[in-house]
Structure 1
Amino acid sequence: MTRRWTAGLALVLALAGCGGDPADVGAPDRGLVGLAMPTKGSDRWIGDGENMNAQFSLLGYRTSLQYADDDTGVQISQIQQMIDDGAKALVVGAIDGTKLKDVLGKAAAAKIPVISYDRLIRDTPDIAYYATFDNFKVGVMQGTYIVETLRLGRGGGPANIELFAGSADDNNATFFFNGAMSVLTPYIRSGALTVRSGETAFAEVATQRWDGKVAKERMARLLRTTYANQRVNAILSPYDGITRGIIEALREGGYAANALPVLTGQDAEIDSVKLIAGGQQGQTVYKDTRELAKVAVQMVNSLVTGGDPIVNDTKQYNNGVKDVPTFLLQPVTVTKDNYQRVLVDGGYYTAAQISG
């Protein structure tokens, strides 16, 4: 399936490339595509927007790329404007996947297809397809890194662990958390891992808007109370920005830079890759958003030109109304041992960016 998708996209780009830049004189104008992204507060979303802009331009589409600064009301207004401007399709990275039903209903009435991008939009029939990564597997990778680093399957432990999850209004956050807990729960039950705070439910450990400052405040509270006379050995963190907030709290709480707990992350943000290279953050999960942008482009172009987008999952992602046909990409775990090969040799970052 992946080979079929790659070949199909390559053909689409090759054919479209004959048209050149849509800004060029005589180049085809295949219409407007609206790109509604959640925030510029994370480097990865900036990259998503730039990648899609470039690829849609190659295909002859104009784009309206908008960032809503984590304000759902602003995102709704931006999507409405894209509808009013006559967009041929919408690609939406939702801030709150439960709040877009009404505006997407207007898109459906105007016969504008909607691609749910990376974050599943819930409680509406008016999304056509979903482009994302295997989000449960992301969590499995994070949990597995903790277990392997603490050598829990080889006589290691017992160890103290604290749990952090993503934003409760993001459907992906539960997938990440459940994936990690599928690995960690047996060790918690056996006593090899102890959550000394007792905070293990998703609602207790969720981090609103994925905000590193919110995570820092919670970690600082845990250090003052639960760990006043104890040491935390591992921390499940679902996202690099949250991890950096946790590290700030740990450092301010007296943990040395070379003696931090086992820490996970996600998105391979450059600041966190630097921490991994320096031995402070242990792991991140890399999701090549260049490839995710290609998936969204393939889906939109197929819909606009009367084709059928390629998918590889039709059952895993139900948004509360329907099973949404999905294309899942595979994430990659990144540590100090392989960041050079995966991120530098793979062309995602340069060595100078990481060392700078």
Structure 2
Amino acid sequence: MGKPSLPETEAGGPHVPVLLDAVLAALSPEPGRRIVDGTFGAGGYSRALLQAGAHVIGIDRDPSVAPHVAALEAEFPDTFTFVPGTFSELDSLAAGHGPVDGVVLDIGVSSMQLDEAGRGFSFMREGPLDMRMSQAGTSAADLVNELEPEALANLLYAFGEERKSRRIAQFIVAARAEKPITTTLDLARIIEKAIGRKPGDAHPATRSFQALRIAVNGEFEQLVEGLFAAERLLPEGGRLAVVSFHSLEDRIVKRYFDPGKGGPAQSRHLPQAETEPLRWHEVAKAVKAGAGELARNPRARSAVLRSATRTGLPARPVQMAGLGVPTIRGAA
């Protein structure tokens, strides 16, 4: 089998799905197997899975994926199905399309979304301060211009791990008193003014933009709901592969696969608490991009793949406790 061809992004270059070879190895997309791509995006994983002979059900809430969906529907009319929606509901969305053997989730913003300035995800491109994956609901501009200073600072700290969140919030509040903050570069400049920029360091707006994007799209809640939806959907022996892009997401996935990793240490002098039977086994070691992939695709530098195999035990109810899901201090 040759190397999978890659779909084009709106920016004209090929969309490069990260850790593609590792994802394919984790899912074993043999002919006849049915796999859910819960975060379709530009269709990079779906295309590779289809070329390997698998049937694919693609899911995405972003209306802008339509051209990529149309391309795969034309090329693979008998083996590709697309269902609009969020991956947090992938079990119900995939219902009626036959038994499923695997699920892949690529968490966070896609390169396609970053490349489209009008979506407002990138602090490197001028665009409206939006960040809504579904293109509906509360935008990043709404949060930046309307949240109280303490709430804004707490959001930046909890979801972006931004240690200078209070100073950034102070500068944002001062700037919006003069005029609303409406563009990505406006906000990026305010943040850079607030905390400075050292040569060689990541852009000072990186963590704040991450925090706003996560808040706008409810990404942590979506991730947890999606993980448990995959648990409900997959039968014994089904495989789940999850690619995440920062430590907060990866911590959630790691603890989800092995709940014992997230619990408090037990003293050997006390009665030992019973451990809950595992719904996942054959949990693979975390996979990161090698030097070759990083040279081809710098966006892979923070990607982590975790995968596991479903046991035959009944699915658990959705639970946030023990997964390390960040919470905003003072939130109701």
> TM above 0.5, one fold?
no
> What TM-score do the two structures reach when normalised by structure 1?
0.29
> What TM-score do the two structures reach when normalised by structure 2?
0.30
